[in-house]
Amino acid sequence: MPERSGSKHDGGYLNKPNRSAWQRWIHRPQALGLRKALLQVHLWLAVTIGVYIIVVSISGSAVVFRRELGMWLVPRTVPEAVGIPLAGDGLAEAVERVYADYQILSIVEPQRRPDEPVYVRLERDGEESARQFDQFRGVDMGDTYPPPMQVMEWFVDLHDNLLAGQTGRTINGIGGALVLVIVLTGAVLWWPGKGRWLGSMLVRPARKSKPLTWQLHSALGFWAFAMLFVWALTAVYFAFPTPFEWVMDSLDSDPTDFERPGEGALLLLIDLHFGRFGGLGVRTFWVLIGLIPAAMFITGFIIWRRRVNRQGGIGQRD
């Protein structure tokens, strides 16, 4: 019996000349030249900036609890605000007694609430430091900038500026734009064809037709697409806000009011970027999903290397 030119099940019939590109895309996109070109763009961009992706992913997760860390380590009130607090000369004498080994640079008494600690700026051996002082008991309350917070701020600078000031911020914006291309091309490449898309959303370890790394990469890409897009877009905004501001200004029909079209949406995206909403549970969840870009790169790199080793070149995703 002669071999059929294509069957409805294997999708071969869709490759006939009379089938439109849209039909081939819907049913079996793997054979389309545009998809193959997008795969190369997606692949080589990811390989090129892979280290950058890992750095911003891990550092972004590390800084989620920045606000909470400051609240946990630096008390906002004295522990026992009972009695009459020290003030004026009496406070100055108590501070000098407690910090006898330091030169007192300044003493800042509470401005808003009487139970706030006193801020004391000190100097010793040419190095400045700041401490909190309990004006009720006349005792030291600790550093205003303890080592864990210094480590946290290092991660913040790494994530925001790549430890390189404005130059790093600019590089970060370019990196965000490249990640945006990776995310959008990945969304196009994710579509496996009609009848296959459901399997690309799930991870089933017992599924032998696709390696676990491929399943993880595909499923993570689908479920995290929105957040990956938000992170990349806002990274571009943080580095290059002028085009975004220009668009909002140009769409504003009433410059005299305090609202601009799209500004609320932009602020929402920024809150999503940092996880600035909800409670401790949301922050913990943001730490976990912040690691997804690193996981995406690692699984994608494993898939690529496996195919290079097996085929002696770069294969196409099925």
pLDDT at residue number 16: 55
Q: pTM for the complete prediction?
A: 0.81
Q: Give ∠ CA 216-222-226 in degrees, rounded to 5.
A: 130
Where are the domains positioned within the chain? 28-69+151-311, 76-144
pLDDT at residue number 142: 94
Whose tokens are 């004498």? That residue is 93
Residue 106 buriedness (CB in 10 A; 0-12 / 13-18 / 19+): exposed
pLDDT at residue number 165: 96
Amino acid present at 161:
N
pLDDT at residue number 9: 45
Nearest-CA neighbor of 60 among 219, 213, 232? 232
Ranges of residues in the chain with a pLDDT under 50 are 1-11, 13-15, 314-318
- The 127-134 sheet, strands edge to edge: 103-108, 118-124, 127-134, 139-143
pLDDT at residue number 312: 62
SS3 103: strand
